[in-house]
Amino acid sequence: MTDQLSPAERYAASRSRRSLPLLESFASGLRFDLDPFQRAAAESLENGRSVLVAAPTGAGKTVVAEFAVYLAMQRPSAKIFYTAPMKALSNQKYAELVAEYGPDEVGLLTGDTNVNSRARMVVMTTEVLRNMLYADSDLLRDLAFVIMDEVHYLADRFRGAVWEEVIIHLPQTVRMISLSATVSNAEEFGDWLQAVRGETDVIVSEERPVPLEQHVIVRHRMVDLFDSSGLAATHRVNPELV
């Protein structure tokens, strides 16, 4: 790949490696190249900014969270919390991090589970973090990053206040990684985060790596919901259904 770059591009790449050594070290350990939105979010994090990442399901938002974990692990005693809206998602993420870093480095806190809560990486439901903030828990000491998965729950009429309280009351020194697949007003949301949390970059990717297809069952037969004759982009209903 380097042989195909112009001298100016090679110089720019060299400067990037020098200015973002942790990102380059992280990327070198991957078995794939970072997508532009992943690299942009990672650059913001290494430069000390928070990020809001809006990208379709399956696009690779998790890689941004993994880089935040990597950053935290490079700092002596720094902690990172990973929040999820449901216990099932918390348990899943806990298992993934344990497989990657080992059980001594990862904790889990949900309403009925307390595992290794003083670990440097702790997975928890958002309500648990809200309660920790109000209790001024000593577990917050040395907290450097908070990953808020499914941050669009902020708009939930029943639970959204929990996300809002966490975002507002987190110490200003904590960098936030907000992830969502369904934020329709990302720029507006990003402006609010910027006002509340300080420097926050909005990273939006609309590229869907896995095509989204919609079907309906008609008389025990699955039929495309939209016309597949090349006019699908117009969302014209399949003539078979009319």
**Each residue of 50-59: pLDDT tens digit?**
999 998 877 7
pLDDT in tens, 171-207: 999 999 999 987 778 889 999 999 999 999 999 987 6
C-alpha dihedral sign at 136, 142, 148, 149: negative
Gap between the Cα atoms of 79 and 138, Å rounded: 12
Query: Which pLDDT score is estimated for 104?
Result: 95
Q: How many CA atoms lie within 13 A of 241 on its CB side?
A: 15
* H helices, E strands: number in the chain: 8, 10
- In angstroms, rounded to a whole number, what is the distance separating the alpha carbons of residues 158 and 136? 24
Report residue 220: phi and psi, to 5°: 65, 15
- 101 sits in the region (left: phi over 0; alpha: psi -120 to 50; else beta) called alpha
pTM (two decimals): 0.80
- Please give the structure tokens belonging to residue 185: 């007003």
State residue 229's pLDDT score.
55
Q: Is the Cβ–Cβ distance between 147 and 179 less than 8 Å?
A: yes
3-state SS assignment for residue 127 = helix
3-state SS string over 211-235? CCCCEEEECCEEEECECCCCCHHHC
- Could you give the 3-state DSSP secondary structure of residue 128? helix
With 50 as the cut, is the pLDDT of residue 119 above it?
yes
Residue 242 clears pLDDT 60, i.e. is over it: no
Name the pLDDT band for 2 (thresholds 50, 70, 90). Answer: very low
pLDDT value of position 237: 59
Could you tell me the domains of the chain?
A: 2-209 (3.40.50.300), 212-242 (no CATH)
What local confidence, expressed as pLDDT, does residue 17 receive? 54
| 3-state SS class at 125 | strand
Say what the pLDDT of residue 225 is. 66
Q: Region 25-48: what's the mean pLDDT?
A: 93
Measure the CA angle with vertex 58, ends 103 and 65; round to 5°: 40
What is the DSSP code (8-state) at residue 237?
Answer: B
What value does the CA radius of gyration of the chain take, rounded to a whole number of Å?
Answer: 21
Answer for the pair 75, 144: CB distance below 8 angstroms, yes or no. yes
Alpha helices (H) in the chain, listed in sequence order: 7-19, 21-28, 36-46, 61-73, 87-101, 126-135, 160-169, 186-197
